[in-house]
Structure 1
Amino acid sequence: MIPVLDTDDYVTRLLSRERPGEAGIIAFYEHRVGAICRNPRLMLMPLDDHLAHRGDGIFESMKYLHRRIYQLDAHLERMRRSAAGLYLAPPCTWERLREIIIEVAKAGGEADGSIRVLVGRGPGGFGIDPAECPEPSLYVAAYHFTPKPEAWFDKGLTAFRSSIPAKQGYLARIKNANYLPNVLMTREAHERGMDVPFSFDDDGCLAETAIANVALVDQTGTLVVPEFTNALAGTTVLRAVELAQGELPVSFRKVREEELHAAREILVLGTSSDCVAVVAYEGRPVADGRPGPVSRRLRALLQADLMGHGVPF
């Protein structure tokens, strides 16, 4: 028979059980408790939080290096837009949420890491009606982040056209907790032995990767960013465009697959790796099959920007 435990015995058993990934957690905060904890075995979400069983929620991921959180305010501004798209708000002010993120990073006691912020509809029932949930949920976790070695950037990535279509526009532009298409794209990449899946919309235009944005350098030397019609507007790619002002022309427009085969460079831009080159697409080399100068320059600009403008703690 399954034992029925009282509270103390249940908590004791819970704390005695190892859990996958616990070594990666540095610190976390949950709004219901209103405190920061460093024991990952207590990092729990109520099963009836609509974030868990309906995917009714939003999230943001950001990194910090040398005790500087990169693009904190840009991530929070995008989170505001995502929240508005789901008629959702955190259970505290946005100003307080910013403070909580900094406090969690500081409590972890490490100079480098990543932050995951989740805002959900909250616990209250197993139905689908948002009215079930009297208060939104908020979870903030700091976890280990190890930057990729230089050899990884020097090698570059391989990419392919995913069979998973781009998300519907209204969902793609909200960083919501339903990442099933992204999961399936990543699984497909493993099956094909490649690094990065590219999704395309119903018109055959390039959208994004599973967890980052795509850009290319065309034959005129222009940095071309696909329109965010069926893709999330990435904080990294938008900041890279700002930093590159005056160094190279930039165009936001629709991109078709044949342009990838003709590109001087293909770039993947995202929070974890800043900017990395794609050196082969669908088995064919991009240009000479090596990372190009724009990928290196954008990465250098982003790294310098973190040191100069990251939020210190």
Structure 2
Amino acid sequence: MPPVLDRTAYLERLLSVDRPGSGSILAFYEHRVGAICHDPKLMLMPLDDHLAHRGDGIFESMKYEHGRIYQLEAHLERMARSAEGLYLEPPCTWDALREVVIDVARASGCECGMLRVLVGRGPGGFGIDPAECPEASLYVAAYKFTPKDEAWYAKGLTAFRSAIPAKQGYLARIKNANYLPNVFMTREAHQRGMDVAFSFDEEGFLAEAAIANVALVDAQGALVVPEFSNALAGTTVLRAMELAQGEMPVTFRKVREDDLYAAREVLVLGTSSDCVGVVAFEGRPVGDGRPGPVSARLRALLQADLLASGTPFLG
């Protein structure tokens, strides 16, 4: 039988336990405590938070580089929409939450990193009824991030059609904490020895990658983004579409697998990598089998936009 410990003994043992991933944590905040801490051994979530045992919650991932948080407002606006979709309110105002995010980035002591913001139903019981939880939970963590080097972008990605179907539309459009399909897609990519899986809906239309959006450049040179019927509207792909206006035609439409084979370029767009080209889909080369000029241009536009419009937090 394991020992039964009092508070002091339990905390002493807790602080002596090795914690995987501790080297990547820079700073974190929990609303119940109302403070920022740097010790990852204290980065804990109550077991009875419905976020933990029901997946009842939402999250956002944000990047910061050069002391600037990219698309902070866009991420928080999407988080507010997700919260509305789950009938969930954060434990503070959205303005206060925004300030906490900036404070955690500042406390990280780094110019470059990632931020994970989670709002859960909160602790209060192990049932399923949201009424168990008197107040929502809020967790914000900053962790290390090393941008990919030029060789990674020059190599490009290999992609395939996932056996995991696209999410139901009403769930796909909420950035919720249940990411099991995304986990399965990532596992599938490892098993197949490829970089990224693309999900398709029941009618055969392209939805998204595991943690990013997909777009293509068609034979006429237009940037084509699949409709968000069964996919999350990504902050990166939406901003890329805005930045590309005037340089190329931009459109939303349904995309089938055959469109990927006919495309000049296939692109993966997400928070951490901005825009990277797909060089092969299901073993067949995309275009000439190398990342194309549009992937490079969109990445350059996004990186310049971070410097121009990112939210500064240092000083």
Describe the superposition over 1:169-197 as per-residue Cα deviations: whole angstroms up to 9, x where unpaired. Answer: 00000000000000000000000000010
Shift of 1:310: 0.5
Shift of 1:12: 0.7
Q: Which residue of structure 2 lines up, in the alignment, with residue 271 of structure 1?
A: 271
1:129 aligns with 2:160: no
Shift of 1:89: 1.0
% same residue: 79
Describe the superposition over 1:10-43 as per-residue Cα deviations: whole angstroms up to 9, x where unpaired. Answer: 0011011111101000000000000000000000
User: Which residues in structure 2 correspond to 1:248-287 (within 5 Å)?
Assistant: 248-287=248-287
Distance in 2 separating the partners of 1:83 and 1:70: 21
SS in 1 for 2:90: coil
Give the letter aligned to residue 157 of structure 1: L
Q: Which residue of structure 2 lines up, in the alignment, with residue 222 of structure 1?
A: 222
Any runs of at least 4 consecutive aligned residues in structure 1 with deviations exceeding 2 A, and if so which? none
Distance in 1 separating the partners of 2:18 and 2:304: 39
Give the letter aligned to residue 219 of structure 1: A
Give the letter aligned to residue 237 of structure 1: V
User: Which residues in structure 2 correspond to 1:61-210 (within 5 Å)?
Assistant: 61-210=61-210
Q: Which runs of 5+ in 1 are unaligned?
A: none
Distance in 2 separating the partners of 1:81 and 1:151: 37
Q: What TM-score results when the alignment is normalised by the length of structure 1?
A: 1.00
1:28 aligns with 2:20: no
SS in 2 for 1:78: helix
Describe the superposition over 1:186-212 as per-residue Cα deviations: whole angstroms up to 9, x where unpaired. Answer: 000000000010000010000000000
Q: What TM-score results when the alignment is normalised by the length of structure 2?
A: 0.99
Over the aligned positions, Cα root-mean-square deviation in angstroms equals 0.4
SS in 2 for 1:115: strand
Q: How many matched pairs?
A: 313
Describe the superposition over 1:116-139 as per-residue Cα deviations: whole angstroms up to 9, x where unpaired. Answer: 000000000000000000000000
Distance in 1 separating the partners of 2:118 and 2:94: 13
User: Which residues in structure 2 correspond to 1:14-25 (within 5 Å)?
Assistant: 14-25=14-25
Distance in 1 separating the partners of 2:289 and 2:86: 42
Give the letter aligned to residue 113 of structure 2: G
Q: Which residue of structure 2 lines up, in the alignment, with residue 4 of structure 1?
A: 4
Give the letter aligned to residue 33 of structure 1: V
Give the letter aligned to residue 204 of structure 2: G
